[in-house]
Amino acid sequence: MAKVSELLAAGRTYSFEFFPPRDPTEHARLVETLLELQPLRPSFVSVTYRGGPSSRDPTHELVVGMLRTTSLTPMAHLICAGHTRLELADILVQLRKAGVQNLMALGGDTPTDPGAPDGELAHAVELVELARAIGGFSIGVAAHPAGHPRSVDLRSDRDHLAAKMRLADFAITQFFWRVEEYLSLVDDLRRRGVTAPVIPGIMPLTTLAAVPRRAQMGAPVPADVVAQLEAAGDPASVRAAGIEMSTKLCQGLLDAGAPGLHFYTLNRSPATREIYTNLGLGPSAR
């Protein structure tokens, strides 16, 4: 299995993100999505971590299952919240024993599991340090073009991000809506002496109902984007307009020199596959 840092050094990466299924219905949907996306030969795929004991086993099982039964290169997410330092060290050791070499180190939200602790490590940079001590990982961290929702201000957020990235190998951004947001983030990091790759995260917006949820996730949809979707009319036209906007965003990012694209799939494949087709990507892009 390749390390993400090695893949980035070799050229652009195209990657997908999934979450562990909660029930048989979600499991069946994920299996179908993986079968549909695997022919696109993504550079790597990442698996989220909800936090607490309820997420530990599903994330581990999904990542290791991908490693053993598919041609995909998986990356495991891990969060500080809800774990002691010893628990995190044990999770990292178990991942390495299973052959997992790629890690996304996150602060995370306090888990909802009854009795779950807040966690011993306060910030993702501490998890990066712990993973480095364990050894053998290519480590990514999260970057927020608009700033982390819990940050005091954008300047301090970028300072903290730069500190993380000096220890990590790469970053993947929260989704955003304009190429300029990404370029501003990268420029800010370069001024702070950080040159590690920053992969833009893409989440296609295909329904108006999703607009409030995007704001809750820390990336409010600009009013003019909402207006374009509203003007499209019926749901099918709204979806087509959202796919077109995402395609233009991706092309703009590639034209601006982004090191790759990371798609938040929500365990569904149609939107990602359509954008791939629009961009002319696929196996020939490798």
Torsion of CA 203, 187, 165, 182, to 10 degrees: 0
Give the integer Cα–Cα distance in Å for 145 and 31. Answer: 32
Is 129 catalytic? The answer is no
Burial class (CB in 10 A: 0-12, 13-18, 19+), 202: buried
CB-count burial class (<10 Å; 0-12, 13-18, 19+) for 71: exposed
Tell me the DSSP string of 180-227: HHHHHHHHHHHHTT--S-EEEEE-----GGGHHHHHHTT-PPPHHHHH
Say if CB 93 and CB 131 are below 8 A apart.
Answer: no
Sign of the Cα pseudo-torsion (281, 283, 285, 286, in order): positive
The region that residue 135 occupies, defined by phi over 0 for left and psi between -120 and 50 for alpha, beta otherwise, is left
Rounded CA gap, 193 and 140, in Å? 18
Q: Which of 6, 17, 61, 244 is catalytic?
A: 17
Classify strands 102-106 and 44-47 as parallel, antiparallel or unpaired.
unpaired
d(CA 160, CA 176): 20
Tell me how far apart the alpha carbons of residues 159 and 168 are, in angstroms, rounded to a whole number: 14
Residue 78 tokens read as: 């891990």
Q: Return the DSSP state at 111.
A: P
Instruction: Enumerate the active-site residues.
Output: 17
